[in-house]
Amino acid sequence: MVTGPCGSCHIMHASKQGIAQTPNRWLTTSDCLGCHTGTNSASGATPYVLTTGVSDLTGALAGGNFYFSSLTPANGHNPVGIGPPAVVTPPGWKVGFAANDQVGGGAASATWTSSQLNCDGTWGCHGGHYDNDMHGAHHHPPPSNPGQFINPTDTGSSYRFLYRIKGYEDSHWEFAKTATTHNVYYGAARTADLPQDVQTISYFCAECHGIFHSGAGNIEGVARDSGFASPWIRHPVDVTMPLDGASPAGSVDYDSTTATYNVNAPLASTSVPTASGSDVSASSNRIVMCLSCHEAHATPYYASLRWDYRGTAGSWSNGCGYCHTSKQ
């Protein structure tokens, strides 16, 4: 929730006070990107998602840094203001696919041909996918257990203003994250191909990248057969990573000896705790999600990945190897 004098964020009569540009929505002094551009610090009160002139993710928050997609569009999202995107239509988008339908108010208007991604609004990520849904979010009172967003009823009560998504918010947006100080993403252990739980972080991504989220038996939104099993046609998401010693041996084995949360390959949890911890030894907090491999905004790497998947040997395999331990 924002605090401080109204005038540090709002301007009532923009023209009279010599501001040349069109007044911003909600009479704020700047637009989303204007307020959210800067350099993060340990005591910073505003989360900055665009920090220019840097070479790596030092100081970046949980979503990464849009600077890298402004330099190389394929390295992440390019909402309006960050420069032209690599592609306009989200990869994995399918008109009429259930998860996608809410964007643009329904499948009928679900074409991206001339609509660049935005921070919020119909073609945006924060708030529901329609205009003005950010209204009131910044002033929304925090939940009774600070950080624990378990009952999202509107944008302001949702995890990071992502409409109806649940999660635990690190108080400093993962600035200097550690195994015990981090966001906890909400995930689900799926039992069917199509999305069942619409409050997971992976479902959020699927609102635009729908067909990347489905189970093994589902191709492009059309059910191939019932049930889901290997082989998958895209990497499993919203599934539990088998516990140590599970069969088949060596399939996956995240941090086998200590089972400690690894900030480089985060796992989601089927419940939202009151604080973040380091234990990922129970099947309920070993859920693979989109953000296990990707960051939400942009990174120095292709496809906003957490590591250099397309890099040279020695670096390319590291990320996959966090989970597929025996293949490192």
Range 84-123, binding ligand HEC (CB under 6 A): 85-87, 90-92, 117, 119-120
The burial class, CB within 10 Å (0-12 / 13-18 / 19+), for 289 is buried
Instruction: Kindly state the number of chain residues that form the binding site for ligand HEC, as judged by CB under 6 A.
Output: 85
Per CB under 6 A, the list member of 136, 146, 227, 250 interacting with ligand HEC is: 136
> What is the footprint of ligand HEC within residues 145-174 (CB under 6 A)?
160-161, 169
Residue 179 makes contact with ligand HEC by CB under 6 A = no
Phi, psi of 207, deg, nearest 5: -60, -25
Tokens of 186: 């909400």
Cα–Cα distance, 221 to 206 (Å, whole number): 12
Cα–Cα distance, 302 to 73 (Å, whole number): 9
Residue 15 vs 235, nearer CB to ligand HEC: 235
> What is the footprint of ligand HEC within residues 58-87 (CB under 6 A)?
73-74, 76-78, 85-87
Residue 178 vs 235, nearer CB to ligand HEC: 235
C-beta of residue 193 within 8 angstroms of C-beta of residue 202: no
Give whole-number Cα distances, 110 to 115, 207, 208, in Å: 10, 11, 10
Residue 188 makes contact with ligand HEC by CB under 6 A = no
Residue 208 makes contact with ligand HEC by CB under 6 A = yes
**How many other C-beta atoms are found inside a 10 Å radius of the C-beta of residue 250?**
11
Residue 236 makes contact with ligand HEC by CB under 6 A = yes
C-beta of residue 53 within 8 angstroms of C-beta of residue 59: no
Tokens of 261: 């949360």
CB of 189 to ligand HEC, least distance (A): 11
CB of 207 to ligand HEC, least distance (A): 5
Of 54, 281, 47, give the one whose Cα is nearest residue 170: 47
Per CB under 6 A, the list member of 14, 29, 107, 164 interacting with ligand HEC is: 29
C-beta of residue 167 within 8 angstroms of C-beta of residue 202: no
CB of 161 to ligand HEC, least distance (A): 4
Per CB under 6 A, the list member of 53, 231, 245, 314 interacting with ligand HEC is: 231
Per CB under 6 A, the list member of 97, 212, 228, 301 interacting with ligand HEC is: 212
Q: Binding pattern to ligand HEC, positions 8-27, x when CB under 6 A?
A: xxx---------------x-
Residue 234 vs 277, nearer CB to ligand HEC: 234
Q: Which residue has the tokens 């309920």?
A: 284
Which region among 14-22, 174-182, 218-226, 249-257 touches ligand HEC (by CB under 6 A)?
Answer: 249-257
Residue 1 vs 20, nearer CB to ligand HEC: 1
CB of 229 to ligand HEC, least distance (A): 8
**How many other C-beta atoms are found inside a 10 Å radius of the C-beta of residue 219?**
14
CB of 156 to ligand HEC, least distance (A): 7
Tokens of 90: 């989200």
CB of 178 to ligand HEC, least distance (A): 18
Of 194, 202, 195, give the one whose Cα is nearest residue 167: 202
Of 100, 206, 201, give the one whose Cα is nearest residue 149: 201
CB of 172 to ligand HEC, least distance (A): 9
Q: Which residue has the tokens 């999600």?
A: 289
Q: Which amino acid is at 25?
A: R
> What is the footprint of ligand HEC within residues 252-311 (CB under 6 A)?
252, 254, 265, 267, 288, 290-294, 296, 302-305, 309-310
Q: Which amino acid is at 176?
A: A
